[in-house]
Structures are given as C-alpha cells and as structure tokens.
C-alpha cells in the first residue's frame, strides 16, 4: 500500500508543478483535468503525511526504548509515545485503505430522484410528499440546488409521483443509498379510529446523464405534444405545451407538463429520459458483475425494502445495516446526514472485506 501511495505522491507533486506553470490555464480542458486529479489526490497525500508523522514518532520512541536508557521518566514517556503512535498508525492505515478504494466515477455527478407512492393509496402519496420535503431540506443544508422536473399531485397535497433534480458537489455520492422501498407506519390524517396504517413509497436515485454520454439517436425518439391536464389555469390547459418522449428501442416513456413552455417541458423530459437510460446501462453492468453487487449497500435493487419510518415510536430503521435511531422528527426535517454516514461506512467496510478476500 505504501509503495502505491509513494507513486501517487510523485504524481501529486508533478501535477502541482504543472498547475503552477505560466500558461497552465491556457487550455481550459487540460487545466480542468489536472485540477480534478489534484483534488482527488489531495486527501490521500494529506492523510499519508499524517501517517508519516506518526511513523516518525513511533520510530523515535522505539529507538529510546531499545537504547538501554536508564532514565525511568524518559522511558515511561517513550513507552506512552510508542503505544499512542502505534495505535494512530493503525487507524491512519485503515483510513488510507478506504481512501484508496476505487472511486465510483459517478460520485461527483448531479442526480435525478424519482419518488412514487406505492401501497397505501392517498397515505402513500402524502408520504411521498414528506420524503420530497425531507430530501429538499437536506439538499438545502448541503448548499445544493434542487428543481422539480415532473409532478403528479393529489387533491390532499400528496404526490402520486414526483421527479426532481439535485445539483451539487458529491450529490450522487451521498444520495445513491436512498434507492429502494421506504415503508411508513403512522396514523393517517384521514383515519378517524386512530389506527396505524402501513404504506410504501419507492425512491429511485438516478445519475443525471448528458445526451452525449449515451449517444441517443434522434431517429429512435418519438415526441408527442398534448394539452396539459390538472391544475395550472386556462393557459396551460388550452395550449399544447405538455411533452411525451418515447425511446423506441427500450420502450421508455417520459412525460412532462409542469412548464407553460413546450420547449422547457421537452428539455426537462429529455433530462429525465437520459438519466433513466443511463441508469438502465448501469443496472446491466451491475448484473454482469455479481460479486460487485454483494458489496453495494442497496444501491441497485429498487424492489428492496430498505427503511421503515415508524411515527408513533419516533423511530427510523434502515434494514440493510440494522441501524435504528429515535429522532424521526429531525430526520423528516432533512437531518439525514448521520444515516447516510452509517450507510457509506458500511459500504466501505464491505468493499474493504471484498478486497481482503481477493
């Protein structure tokens, strides 16, 4: 591992020199690639410097202990330094192993999140709205931008389906663990007897993909325009502003009618279509690599029940990692960072274990 890091350190220094050269920014594309590489290498090199400092303290203390030093107080201090440095080296070595894990190439990308009400009718639709609110507040806390791309609201304020984008540094790396079936247990507002109902909502987190990444052939698209339905006033209902795009080879259909402009609806629908097709490619790749599937913490199978939100007990349980926490109110207000941290840690541990088996 250390030999590998030393090579990375050489590359880090080399890239740093290139970035500081006169005219380094003359070619924006090359400069951007160098900056990205430098940024990715920085946490590894900084952690390695910490490791080197601990290693030096360990060696100095070891030298004193093996020197036959007679000063009792000095020996005690050296022994303490020896033990603490050794423990720190072990901790830093584990952290370096995690940093050296192959990075998901999509981690820095933006995402498109699709939330659909499942079993439970109107209560499921209301919980879909609750989850949308939760993710929106989380995105806001991270300084990310979110935009609704498509929505099908219900009369009571829920969503049969809502699709929205989240743009920000590392959005996919944090939100990718949210794909799956979310189960809610609570007393619905429409329940007069006070009985607890169980409903489900499906969440799909897609990488926001560009058309160029997929090389979509325009001849394989069928684009229909029609009058929007539902709320929106006279204009939206009398103008053919709604857009439906069908990808003929896969049968994937996307509709968007939220905007008054046909052009904007087409742009949003295309964004959703690209991400769904890209997600389809990723799923096919994961299916081909069965061993890799076992290292994923629920980022692949959308039919997997991943989490339960129990409102009477104020409890959230993530079934993938057997993690339970009793602060549901804060979580529903967007404070999900600790839950995501637990999932990311479990994912890293699984990948480290797989590396050890190979």
What whole-number distance in Å separates Cα of residue 246 and Cα of residue 253?
A: 4
Looking at CATH, the fold of the domain delimited by 213-286 is given as Double Stranded RNA Binding Domain (3.30.160)
Quote the pLDDT of residue 338. Answer: 93
**Most confident option among 173-177, 220-224, 230-234, 236-240:** 173-177
Sheet (strand 315-318) strand order = 145-153, 159-167, 111-117, 197-207, 180-186, 305-310, 315-318, 323-325
CATH 1.20.58, applies to 2-99? yes
Confidence of residue 335 (pLDDT cuts 50, 70, 90): very high
* pLDDT number for residue 292: 42
pLDDT of 233 over the 50 cut? no
Q: Distance between CA 158 and CA 144 in Å, rounded?
A: 24
Query: What average pLDDT score do residues 18-29 get?
Result: 86
Tell me the mean pLDDT in the region 219-230. Answer: 78
- Partners of 150 in beta bridges: 163
Q: What is the mean pLDDT of residues 32-51?
A: 89
* pLDDT above 70: residue 225: yes
Given this model, what pLDDT does residue 300 score?
A: 43
pLDDT at 291 over 60: no
Domain borders along the chain are 2-99, 111-209+291-357, 213-286
> In the structure, what pLDDT confidence band is assigned to residue 142 with cuts at 50, 70 and 90?
very high
Q: Average pLDDT, stretch 134-147?
A: 95
Provide the pLDDT for residue 307: 95
Q: The whole model's pTM is what?
A: 0.72
Residue 295 reports pLDDT greater than 50: no
pLDDT band of residue 236 (cuts 50, 70, 90) is very low
Least confidently predicted of 56-65, 257-266, 303-312, 322-331: 257-266
Report residue 296's pLDDT band, with 50, 70 and 90 as the boundaries: very low
CATH topology of domain 111-209+291-357: Alpha-Beta Plaits (3.30.70)
Range 132-153 average pLDDT: 93
For residue 290, name the pLDDT band (cuts at 50, 70, 90).
very low
Q: How far from chain centre, in Å, is Cα 336?
A: 12
Q: Which of 7-11, 137-141, 248-252 has the highest mean pLDDT?
A: 137-141
Q: What is the mean pLDDT of residues 117-137?
A: 91
Kind of pairing, strands 305-310 and 180-186? Answer: parallel
**Cα separations (Å) of 323 from 10, 81, 198, 346?**
41, 36, 20, 10
């Amino acid at each position: 591992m250390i030999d590998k890091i030393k090579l990375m350190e050489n590359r880090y220094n080399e890239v740093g020199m290139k970035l500081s050269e006169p005219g380094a920014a003359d070619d924006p594309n090359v400069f951007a690639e160098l900056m990205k590489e430098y940024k990715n290498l920085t946490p590894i090199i900084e952690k390695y410097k910490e490791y080197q400092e601990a290693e030096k303290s360990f060696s100095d203390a070891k030298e004193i202990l093996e020197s036959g030093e007679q000063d009792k107080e000095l020996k005690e201090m050296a022994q303490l330094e020896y033990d603490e440095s050794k423990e720190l080296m072990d901790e830093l070595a584990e952290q370096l192993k995690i940093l050296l894990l192959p990075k998901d190439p999509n981690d820095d990308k933006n995402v498109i999140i699709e939330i659909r009400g499942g079993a439970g009718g109107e209560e499921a639709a209301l919980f879909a709205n609750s989850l949308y609110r939760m993710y929106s507040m989380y995105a806001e806390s991270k300084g990310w931008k979110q935009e609704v791309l498509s929505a099908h609201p219900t009369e009571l304020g829920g969503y049969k389906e809502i699709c929205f984008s989240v743009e920000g540094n590392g959005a996919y790396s944090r939100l990718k663990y949210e794909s799956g079936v979310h189960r809610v247990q609570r007393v619905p507002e429409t329940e007069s007897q006070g009985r607890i109902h169980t409903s489900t909502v499906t969440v799909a987190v897609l990488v926001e993909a560009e058309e160029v990444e997929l090389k979509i052939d325009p001849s394989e698209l069928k684009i229909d325009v029609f009058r929007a339905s539902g709320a929106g006033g006279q204009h939206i209902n009398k103008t053919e502003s709604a857009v439906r795009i069908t990808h003929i080879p896969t049968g994937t259909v996307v509709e968007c009618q939220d905007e008054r402009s046909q052009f904007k609806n087409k742009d949003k629908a295309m964004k959703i279509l690209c991400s769904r097709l890209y997600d389809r490619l990723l799923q096919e790749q994961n299916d081909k690599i069965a061993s890799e599937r076992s290292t994923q913490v629920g980022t692949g199978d959308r039919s997997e029940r991943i989490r339960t939100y129990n409102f009477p007990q104020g409890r959230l349980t993530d079934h993938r990692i057997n993690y339970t926490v009793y602060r549901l109110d804060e979580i529903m207000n967007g404070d999900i960072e600790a839950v995501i941290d637990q999932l990311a840690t479990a994912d890293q541990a699984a990948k480290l274990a797989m590396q050890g088996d190979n």
